[in-house]
């Protein structure tokens, strides 16, 4: 059985979900951000136990197909923005998400906007800004290198978008005493 899990956004989440299911006596056949295949198939009582144990850890089982699709969109965006080099993509992020999910982009866009109250494009921008904040905090790359890695046409474009989302410039963010980076599942 494949379980769809909300808020799995990183490798540690995958590890925690795996450990939680194994502790409950399930064999994890396959696991990736947002979904896990378990054996044997859990019965309704076991599903409730899994759900309860996940909620304590900040995860949630998703049972409705539309909710699963929305979470899949989020997972694909997070994978692309946080775990790949956006500069090397040969097509738009939105089209790539639609292809990976084997769905029409217009359908995904309408579904996502209705459920989340923002467009997929806006969600992508929010994720990119969180990644830029992370890279700025690490201090290993300059703004031009970050802009290139994140697929921006220039550091000026990145700076403009960063300021429109956060209200401050990247350089002010980098030197600020307190940072306001959000966990990926809260973006």
Residue-wise pLDDT tens for the chain (187 aa)? 999 999 888 889 999 999 999 999 999 999 998 999 999 999 999 999 999 999 999 999 998 889 999 999 999 999 899 888 887 776 788 889 999 999 999 999 999 999 999 999 999 999 999 999 999 998 899 999 999 999 999 999 999 999 999 999 999 998 886 767 666 656 6
**Residue in the structure block whose two tokens are 């500069």:** 87
| Residue-range domains of the chain with CATH | 2-63 (3.30.70), 65-187 (1.10.10.60)
What 3-state DSSP class applies to 178? coil
What pLDDT shows up at residue 91?
75
The candidate with the shortest Cα–Cα distance to 33, out of 59, 52, 65, is 59
Which segments of the chain are extended strands (E)? 2-6, 27-32, 35-39, 60-62
**How many CB atoms sit inside 10 A of residue 89's CB?**
13
């Amino acid at each position: 059985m494949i379980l769809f899990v909300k808020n799995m956004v990183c490798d540690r989440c995958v590890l925690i979900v795996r450990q939680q299911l194994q502790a409950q006596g399930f064999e994890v056949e396959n696991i990736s951000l947002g979904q896990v295949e378990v054996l044997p198939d859990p019965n309704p009582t076991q599903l409730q136990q899994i759900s309860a144990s996940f909620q304590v850890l900040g995860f949630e089982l998703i049972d409705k197909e539309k909710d699963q699709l929305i979470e899949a969109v989020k997972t694909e965006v997070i994978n692309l923005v946080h775990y790949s080099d956006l500069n090397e993509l040969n097509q738009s992020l939105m089209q790539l998400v639609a292809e990976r999910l084997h769905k029409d982009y217009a359908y995904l866009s309408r579904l996502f906007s209705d459920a989340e109250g923002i467009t997929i494009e806006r969600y992508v921008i929010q994720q990119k800004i969180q990644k830029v904040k992370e890279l700025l905090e690490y201090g290993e790359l300059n703004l031009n290198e970050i802009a290139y890695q994140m697929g921006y046409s220039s550091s000026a474009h990145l700076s403009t978008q960063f300021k429109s989302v956060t209200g401050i410039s990247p350089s002010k963010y980098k030197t600020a005493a307190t940072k306001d980076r959000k966990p990926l599942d809260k973006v």
